[in-house]
Chains A and B, each alone.
Chain A
Amino acid sequence: MILKSPLYKLQKELGARFTEFAGFEMPIQYTSVKDEHLTVRRTVGLFDVSHMSNVWIAGKDAEKLISLTTVEDASRIGDKMSQYTAILREDGTVIDDTIFMHLGNKYMIIPNAGMAETVAKWLNEKAEEYSICATAENVSKDYVILAIQGPKSRDTLQKLTDVDLKTVGFFGCQYIDIADINCIISHTGYTGELGFELQITPTSLAENVFRKILEAGKEFGIKTIGLGARDTLRMEKYFILAGNEFKGGRTPLEATMSWTINWDHDFIGKKALLKQKEKGDYERLTCLKCIDKGIPRHGFEIKKEEKKVGIVTSGTLSPCLNIGIAMGYVHHDFREKESILDIIIRDKPVKAKVIKPPFVPKDWAQHN
């Protein structure tokens, strides 16, 4: 069954073209990917990301359950704060990456599209197995998720609330009235720009909020943004897309997410990660910026002098840099910074350089 966002009709009215993504029919673009991408980098864009999931974790040991099942020690994350983390299998591979928000005595996690049931089931099983008093409940259908991203995102939302949004710090989260509707706001995003995300329930209230945000952002040239630009925006910042970068079973060490791991606590998958870390000979996700013309895509081979040394998991033309960029797993011996590798595009080698992420720096729009 193909699911639709509660805002589907509105999006159609706004001229969206749709695509299927993880079982959802979502807008891929409204005007063009490039135009929408640059709008977010330069001013502000509004995304419906309701394909993402919502799971409540409640019970007296909710914090314990998160600490056990993610690479984060949840006791470090205070009330009204959120954290990006990963849920692992015993063998260290990633089930899903997610943000969890600490909201009073409950936590909300935002698993990827189509992952809610898998994640909730896993958490409930582990709660039982480890005698932890907490439950996970999939409430994805009850929420619309909006993302407001770009340098003018705060100015746009500020017009719709009495709360000083400067008090909502990076990765802060709280209940807030936006356009007279109570929702959860978090200072988070997937674009690398200043931005916020809103969790709105019941979903029937979301259309009003969506329209009010568009109105408030009008003076800044706000645009609605589809999944096409969402993907290119995240790639320029070297942000992982679970369906691409974790496919086939990858650990957070391979995905170069070791910065998210809190080694001082026990969690499922830790043993396997320690073993892998000690061995050290694993492939790692790598940033490749093309030197030659050509656009790398998912699944293309990466070679060094005819020898296969890796594979592209995500690739695109960077709308900001106007050159091909790729994320891919590369054998650890061949990914030293400045190394030149070949990405094989339709049987032809296209030269690319290993660079330090991200592809596009934070203040790009100020200089371009």
Chain B
Amino acid sequence: MGDEVRKNLKYTDSHEWLKLTDDTAMVGITDHAQSELTDIVFVELPQIGKEIKKGEELCVVESVKSVSEIYSPISGKVANVNKKLEDAPETINESPYDEGWLVEIEVKDKSEFNSLLDAEAYKKMI
């Protein structure tokens, strides 16, 4: 456990994943990241509607002992957040790629997508 990398996703070197569907990108943290953090106990999500630039702080994920900033892999507007995480932050540990997604972003510039890592490259990195 702790190193699943999914083929259909894009990745960053700071361990976020991204899935593009039409103009919306779903963002979360990778299995590797959740297993490094262990015990996620608190998630601070952004306001819906917030404009965000690639590389800016998107949310904060805390374990008992650590605080980790999650950076946006792409620019755009926060369209939706995973409210479930406010009461069940451990969902990120249990299901980092499905139930434990963090934010949906309305993507402005799809060309930013090209600079992200593919599964192969991310796998090599971890």
What residues make up the interface of A, taking CB atoms closer than 8 Å to B?
28-29, 32-35, 37, 228, 231-232, 293-295, 297, 316-317, 319, 322, 346
Contact = CB atoms under 8 A, between A and B. Distances in A.
Contact count band on B: 10 to 19
B42 A346 contact: no
B13 to A, nearest CB: 21
B121 interface: no
Contacts of B67: 295, 297
A293 B42 CA distance: 8
Interface of B: 38-39, 41-42, 44, 60, 62-65, 67, 86
A293 B38 CA distance: 19
A363 to B, nearest CB: 23
18 contacts: A28-B65, A33-B38, A33-B39, A33-B65, A34-B39, A34-B41, A34-B64, A35-B39, A228-B64, A228-B65, A295-B41, A295-B62, A317-B41, A317-B42, A317-B62, A317-B64, A319-B64, A346-B60
A231 B65 CA distance: 9
Contacts of B44: 346
B60 A316 contact: no
Nearest to B41: A317
B60 A232 contact: no
B86 A316 contact: no
A335 B62 CA distance: 28
Contacts of A295: 41-42, 62, 67
Contacts of A232: 64-65
Query: Which one of B63, B65, B86 has the highest number of Cβ atoms from chain A below 10 Å of its Cβ?
Result: B65
Nearest to B86: A293
Contacts of A322: 41
A232 B65 CA distance: 9
A149 B41 CA distance: 25
Contacts of B41: 34, 295, 317, 322
A304 B63 CA distance: 27
B111 to A, nearest CB: 32
Contacts of B62: 295, 317
Contacts of A228: 64-65
Nearest to A232: B64
Contacts of B60: 346
A295 B41 CA distance: 9
Contacts of A319: 64
A295 B62 CA distance: 8
Contacts of A28: 65
Nearest to B62: A295
